[in-house]
Chains A and B, each alone.
Chain A
């Protein structure tokens, strides 16, 4: 079977240090928060993806060139803890071909 061109690979490290390989569709208008939830990884996504809570806080550990944090995202990270330079809200990372191979680590629950 040939590889589905709309599927990208993502690696998520959970809070226990376990790595999960996820397959993310790029044609479903999905983001990293939703992808993690669909694999039942412990990501809350309280606000449903509006960058209005900070419950999908994660660190990007690969050197992918993501779109910069928006002002909204930056504002919401104010309510998160353990914010680092590579901190992102998962709901603000859209699944696109450009992020194939992305590696993230879930931030501690605040």
Chain B
């Protein structure tokens, strides 16, 4: 069991900065994020995009902002549970929250800060009616172990790097048959990977099916066939043991919506006094929360984090007085 003072759900900019403000008050933090790296949207969606409204930075790349935040919070030695999704929450008899991830990792803390942005990133699923019937029965949204596909007939959909890279990898003596389905003739992946796929198609080592999308899945208990629809030439079936649709990730509020929090339009209602939710001890900051006048800006999230930890301190140490100390006076005293 991981014990901490503030358990932060979401390691985006707002969650990361919470560690700093909490650290100044000598509160320890641990972060959970469904992505494999910290930074949230900044590192997952637009690391190379410049941001222009971070005070004192006329321009900073989203990826660099993440790096700087990691540097800023390093003295406070935050813990991370990455690549896992916060799933269940319960309370023990000492008024502490226990949060369990989808992989069973347990965390215990008197205060929870939900800084989950737009939610957790999940694979985008094609809108095919009976798709869920075949999930884990031939339809997978991520390739965990390529060996799983040895000797199998595999259909991959998508036009980005993961679709291209896995096509190349599986075609190299792993799968028995690889088909890549894409909605147009050009690909957005790395030019090298595109070339490799074109070469494999030329050599007859993969089936490249362009201007098509998969519109149907079929089979008796497990996947046996996918149906692809051509832009102009109608539909045809392709035999398949597996179909791997790779259409990127999109954020979903996910399990948090079952935590008995008041939610309006996919955002968590908070009191602007301290950004606490309707459940005492659970706070929500950054893009995930809503209140009259809310703006979804990183800079507003930083402000919310700062006020939130003051309230968290009083919840954890009701008898201690808190005095605002400027970092210019005392510097930053990290944890041993």
CB distance from B209 to the nearest CB of A (A): 15
Residue of B nearest to A77 (CB): B183
Interface residues of A in 65-110 (CB under 8 A from B): 74-75, 77-83, 108-110
Interface assignment of A31: CB less than 8 Å from any CB of chain B: no
B125 and A110 form a contact (CB under 8 A): yes
B91 interface hit (Cβ, 8 Å): no
Q: Which residues of A contact B45 (CB under 8 A)?
A: 46-47, 52-53
**Shortest beta-carbon distance from A91 to chain B in Å:** 13
The answer to whether A78 touches B127, judged by C-beta atoms less than 8 angstroms apart, is no
Q: Point out the residues of chain A lying under 8 angstroms from B49, CB to CB.
A: 50, 52
Known contacts being A55-B250, A78-B183, A79-B160, is A46 close to B127, with CB within 8 Å?
no
- Size bin of chain A's contact surface: 10 to 19
Q: Which residues on the A side are within 8 Å of B158 (C-beta)?
A: 78-79
Q: Are B183 and A83 in contact (CB under 8 A)?
A: yes
Closest to A84 in B: B231
**Chain B residue contacts of A52, Cβ below 8 A:** 45-46, 49
A90 to B94, CA, bound (A): 50
A81–B246 alpha-carbon span in the complex (Å): 12
Task: List the B side residues contacting A79 at CB < 8 Å.
Answer: 124, 158, 160, 247-248
For A110, list chain B residues within 8 Å (CB).
Answer: 124-127, 247, 250
The contact of B159 among A53, A78, A81, by CB within 8 Å, is A78
CA distance A109 to B125 in the complex (A): 10
A78/B250 contact (C-beta < 8 A), A110-B125, A110-B126 known? no
A47–B41 touching, CB < 8 Å: yes
**A109 and B50 alpha carbons, distance in the complex (Å):** 28
Are B125 and A78 within 8 A (Cβ)? no
**Most chain B beta carbons < 10 A, residue from A75, A81, A108:** A81
How near does chain A come to B202, taking the closest CB pair, in angstroms? 22
Q: Give the shortest distance, in Å, between B128 (CB) and chain A (any CB).
A: 9
Task: Please give the distance in Å from A110's CB to the nearest CB on chain B.
Answer: 6
Which residues, 5 to 58 on A, are CB-close (under 8 Å) to B?
46-47, 50, 52-55
Contact (Cβ within 8 A) B126 A74: no
Residues of B within 8 A of A46 (CB): 41, 45, 118, 250-251
Closest to B247 in A: A79
Residue of A nearest to B118 (CB): A46
The answer on a CB contact under 8 Å between B250 and A82 is: no
Given A55-B250, A83-B183, A110-B125, answer yes or no on A78-B188 (Cβ-Cβ < 8 Å): yes
State whether B248 touches A50 (Cβ < 8 A): no
Alpha-carbon distance A74/B248, docked complex (angstroms): 15
**Shortest Cβ distance from B235 into chain A, in angstroms?**
15
State how many angstroms separate the Cβ of A90 from the closest Cβ of chain B: 16
Q: From residue B257, how far is it (CB to closest CB) to chain A in Å?
A: 16
Closest to A109 in B: B127
Q: Are A75 and B46 in contact (CB under 8 A)?
A: no
Contact A81 B46 (CB under 8 A): no
B294 at the interface (CB under 8 A from A): no
> Which residues from chain A contact B46 at a C-beta distance below 8 Å?
47, 50, 52
Q: Is B315 an interface residue (CB 8 A)?
A: no
B225 beta carbon closer than 8 Å to chain A: no
Q: Are B247 and A81 in contact (CB under 8 A)?
A: yes
In Å, the complex CA distance between A80 and B213 comes to: 11
Cross-chain pairs A/B with CB under 8 angstroms, 10 sampled: A47-B46, A52-B45, A52-B46, A74-B186, A78-B158, A78-B183, A79-B248, A81-B124, A81-B127, A110-B124
Q: 12 other contacts beyond A75-B159, A78-B184, A81-B127, with CB at 8 A cut-off?
A: A50-B46, A53-B248, A55-B250, A75-B188, A78-B160, A79-B160, A80-B247, A81-B213, A83-B213, A108-B127, A109-B127, A110-B125
- The residues of B with any CB-CB pair to A shorter than 8 Å are 41, 45-46, 49, 118, 124-127, 158-160, 182-184, 186, 188, 213, 247-248, 250-251
